Amino acid sequence: MTESPSLHPFTLLFVAALLLSVALRFWLASRQVRHVARHRGAVPNGFADRIGLAAHQRAADYTIARVRLGIVETVVSAVLLIGFTMLGGLQWLMGAAQAIAPGSPAIASAIFVALVVLTGAIVDLPIEAWRRFRLEQRFGFNRMTPALFVADTLKGALVGAALGLPLLALVLWLMRASGELWWLWTWIAWMAFNLAVMVLFPTVIAPLFNRFEPLPEGEVRDRVQALLSRCGFRARGLFVMDGSRRSAHGNAYFTGLGRARRIVFFDTLLARLDADEIEAVLAHELGHFKLRHIPKRIALTFGISLAGLWLLGWLSRQPWFYQALGLTPEPAMADAAALVLFFLALPVFAFPLQPLFALASRRHEFQADAFAAAQTDPKHLASALVKLYEDNASTLTPDPVHSTFHDSHPPAVQRIGRLTAAPAT
């Protein structure tokens, strides 16, 4: 007789972890809303001469609106997860997949995983549309038309299918054909896939969504090339991306690996910052490469994925893992069931570890700031950051506990404080 999922110890552990995760997210969100609202009435010391009260209050209101939408996302995600597991949603989708491909477990397995992903995407779509056309529109950031939103969504789905379905087929085949060490071969395939995507993204994937034009000749290009020469950095090109088609937010980033590396500036960033500030922002991004932050993050990601796949390899052999999460697959469908259950349950148990990853990211940001301060005048990076905080409506007064959990970048007061104290080059 099959043990009832509601009575299994792992079921209770899963539900308790989910409730704890939701409660912790709610508590952090409420702290952020209260803290930002409490400091809404005055610009922090050190910023009053550079950011006006109206801009500070706009950033506070934008932050609060985003946090409240995040609460809705948390509730929807939790309900969907319960629907998938405890309420039998996954079992129903598995039956639907088998009905679509009767007598072909391999095809049915791939369809099952695709149906789970598609269901999650459909549930997320209204929230993303609300974020874009209500929240971002309200604060003047959205420049995307409904037609472009639909086009991006469809292109994203097609690209995801073109990349994801072959990978899924390979993983399912490895799980069937590679014995108990399938997780190790899958990890090797996963590493190769990710590295290939990093190489292809700048020249094949990104141009499907945005236009990239060479950085025009002039002072900015000359300053950027001089900085790259001083730092001994080589890239395939300097490009401007038409970010303004979709958003008023500005940014700059490095992309690609090896000889495929590119430096990309949002057109909105170039329109807002002067040559000194652009050089300083690029020096910060260059710091991540010179200090080997990118390889370290890739290595950490691959190390965690290895441990996760090893754990999945063990869990996939435990009948209680499936039963406790509301799924009783046929043996031929067990591999796909294990994949889905693992990636649905993992975030529930991993969320309390998030501050560790945020801490490592903030440390890297401080180090990249220090590198930039050694290559350019630190006041230029400070000036650029202040403009970006204002233009992106980033709050200057985040709740410290919420920031510890969620923020990959240090609070503005800390970053600007360090740069202000740094000696000029």
With a cut of 50, say whether residue 4 has pLDDT above it: no
Residue 266 sits at φ, ψ, to 5 deg, of -70, 140
pLDDT given at position 5? 43
Please enumerate in sequence order all residues whose Cβ is within 8 A of that of 113, keeping only pairs 6 or more positions apart, or say none: 168, 336, 339, 340
Distances from the Cα of 74 to the Cαs of 62, 80, 264, 398, in angstroms? 18, 10, 33, 20
Strand ranges across the sheet with 212-214:
212-214, 238-241, 262-266, 252-255
What are the residue numbers of the active site?
Answer: 285, 369
- 23-33, pLDDT tens digit by residue? 999 999 999 99
Section 162-181 average pLDDT:
93
Distances from the Cα of 49 to the Cαs of 41, 45, 46, 56, 416, in angstroms? 15, 9, 7, 12, 14
Burial of 116 (0-12, 13-18, 19+ CB in 10 A): buried
pLDDT given at position 3? 46
* pLDDT mean across residues, the chain: 90
With a cut of 50, say whether residue 47 has pLDDT above it: yes
With a cut of 80, say whether residue 256 has pLDDT above it: no
Predicted model pTM: 0.89
- 106-141, pLDDT tens digit by residue? 999 999 999 999 999 999 999 999 999 999 999 999
Section 215-237 average pLDDT:
82
Q: How many CB atoms lie within 10 A of CB 178?
A: 13
With a cut of 80, say whether residue 260 has pLDDT above it: no
Give the percent of the chain with pLDDT over 90: 66
pLDDT given at position 258? 66
Section 279-283 average pLDDT:
90
- 145-155, pLDDT tens digit by residue? 999 999 999 99
Coil, helix or strand at residue 240: strand
- 50-98, pLDDT tens digit by residue? 899 999 999 999 999 999 999 999 999 999 999 999 999 999 999 999 9
Please enumerate in sequence order all residues whose Cβ is within 8 A of that of 70, keeping only pairs 6 or more positions apart, or say none: 25, 29
Residues of each annotated binding site for Zn(2+): 284, 288, 365
Section 223-249 average pLDDT:
83
- 367-417, pLDDT tens digit by residue? 999 999 998 999 999 999 998 898 888 999 999 999 999 999 999 899 998
pLDDT given at position 248? 81
**Contact criterion met (CB below 8 Å) for 208 and 159:** yes
Residues of each annotated binding site: 284, 288, 365
